[in-house]
């Protein structure tokens, strides 16, 4: 059944390739990444099938099974070298040369980093020379892509968490949300957020900025384009941050993380209007 989540993402990426031709290249790359992630998820599931459910009191990032993760890492790097755009493919080749100690460091650095900094490349440690910063950003991106299925497996294996309020970061792993979702509820819609790492979805307030906590209505607005009516840009005029939300009341066919990747014109619009994205996606948009 969980396999079905990956199948839906892969299928949606293929589907959107024709309706969003400007995003076709990115979607094809994503489809190949998700195909690898699906097989890694299956492998993790098989290897950890007999392990007990993880207590909801334990932070998700306390787990890190390097015995399971390290042996699959070189295979992942060679897949990326084949399918990724040049800069990421080169970073994967360079990382492959580093051997197990380097791989472990890359995985641990990402997993134990302050989630606020994860994958965005603003890490002060890496903010030295341009080249090493670039390499650090690519390595974090590689670790992020690789660890997603593992994090998602851990999230799927946990006891249900009773949520305290509506946190702005993932209640399971502390990462930022990658996209919002609107689902119908009664006469209206309820909003939730999806975690960038473990894909957990949690309820969120409709008018509240996950970046700065702004909750005054005039400061919080949303924009959409008629040709992409089911995706909107939620902006905050206090901290000038935005995040997209996928409105499933308008189309039930959407798969939020994939539709988020495909709708590049909305990112261009937001940037032109001075908004920064709360969390870049794995295509760097
Ligand atoms: Zn999470
Ligand atoms: Zn804000």
**CA atoms of 140 and 221, how far apart (whole Å):** 32
Q: Cα(212) to centroid of ligand 2, in Å?
A: 4
To the nearest whole percent, how much of the chain has pLDDT over 70?
94
Report residues near ion ligand 1: CB below 5 Å: 170, 172-173, 175, 195, 197-198, 200
Q: What is the pLDDT of residues 226-282, one digit of tens each?
A: 999 999 999 999 999 999 999 999 998 999 999 999 999 999 999 999 999 999 999
Q: Cα(170) to centroid of ligand 1, in Å?
A: 5
> Is the domain of 133 the same as that of 45?
yes
Q: Cα(173) to centroid of ligand 1, in Å?
A: 4
Which-ligand-closest: CA of 235?
Answer: 2
> Is the domain of 34 the same as that of 129?
yes
> Is the domain of 80 the same as that of 200?
no
Asked if the structure places residue 164 within a domain, the reply is no
How far apart, in Å, are the Cα atoms of 235 and each of 46, 138, 175, 227, 239?
42, 28, 20, 19, 9
Q: What is the pLDDT of residues 46-96, one digit of tens each?
A: 999 888 888 888 889 999 999 999 999 999 999 999 999 999 999 999 999
Q: Cα(279) to centroid of ligand 1, in Å?
A: 13
Q: What is the pLDDT of residues 125-163, one digit of tens each?
A: 444 466 777 888 999 999 999 999 999 999 999 887 777
pLDDT at 139: 96
Q: Cα(215) to centroid of ligand 2, in Å?
A: 8
pLDDT at 127: 47
* Structural domains in the chain (count): 2
The answer to whether the Cα torsion of 124, 275, 208, 243 is positive or negative is: negative
User: How much is the average pLDDT of 20-33?
Assistant: 96
> Is the domain of 8 the same as that of 149?
yes
**CA atoms of 179 and 158, how far apart (whole Å):** 22
* 122 band by pLDDT with thresholds 50, 70 and 90: very low
Q: Cα(37) to centroid of ligand 2, in Å?
A: 33
**CA atoms of 218 and 71, how far apart (whole Å):** 52
CB 246 within 8 A of CB 231: yes
Q: What is the pLDDT of residues 178-208, one digit of tens each?
A: 999 999 988 888 999 999 999 999 999 999 9
Q: Cα(206) to centroid of ligand 2, in Å?
A: 13
| Stated pTM of the model | 0.93
> Is the domain of 126 the same as that of 191?
no
Q: Cα(272) to centroid of ligand 2, in Å?
A: 17
């Amino acid at each position: 059944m969980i396999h079905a989540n990956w199948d839906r993402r892969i299928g949606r990426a293929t589907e959107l390739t024709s309706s969003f031709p400007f995003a076709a290249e990115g979607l094809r790359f994503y489809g190949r990444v998700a195909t690898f992630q699906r097989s890694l998820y299956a492998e993790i599931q098989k290897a950890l099938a007999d392990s007990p459910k993880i207590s909801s009191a334990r932070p998700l990032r306390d787990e890190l099974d390097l015995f399971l993760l390290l042996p699959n890492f070189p295979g992942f790097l060679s897949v990326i070298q084949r399918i990724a755009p040049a800069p990421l493919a080169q970073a994967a080749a360079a990382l492959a040369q580093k051997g197990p100690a380097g791989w472990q460091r890359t995985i641990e650095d990402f997993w134990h980093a302050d989630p606020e900094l994860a994958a965005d490349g603003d890490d002060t440690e890496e903010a030295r020379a341009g080249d090493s910063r670039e390499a650090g950003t690519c390595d974090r991106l590689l670790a992020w892509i690789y660890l997603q299925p593992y994090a998602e497996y851990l999230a799927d294996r946990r006891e249900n968490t009773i949520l305290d309020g509506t946190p702005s970061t993932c209640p399971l792993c502390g990462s930022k949300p990658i996209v919002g979702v609107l689902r119908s509820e009664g006469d209206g819609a309820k909003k939730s957020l999806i975690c960038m790492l473990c894909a957990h979805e949690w309820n969120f307030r409709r008018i509240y900025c996950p970046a700065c906590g702004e909750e005054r209505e005039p400061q919080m607005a949303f924009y959409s384009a008629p040709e992409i009516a089911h995706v909107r840009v939620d902006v905050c005029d206090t901290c000038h941050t935005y995040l997209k939300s996928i409105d499933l009341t308008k189309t039930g066919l959407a798969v939020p993380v994939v539709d988020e990747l495909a709708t590049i014109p909305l990112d261009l619009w937001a940037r032109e209007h001075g908004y920064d994205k709360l969390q870049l996606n794995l295509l760097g948009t």
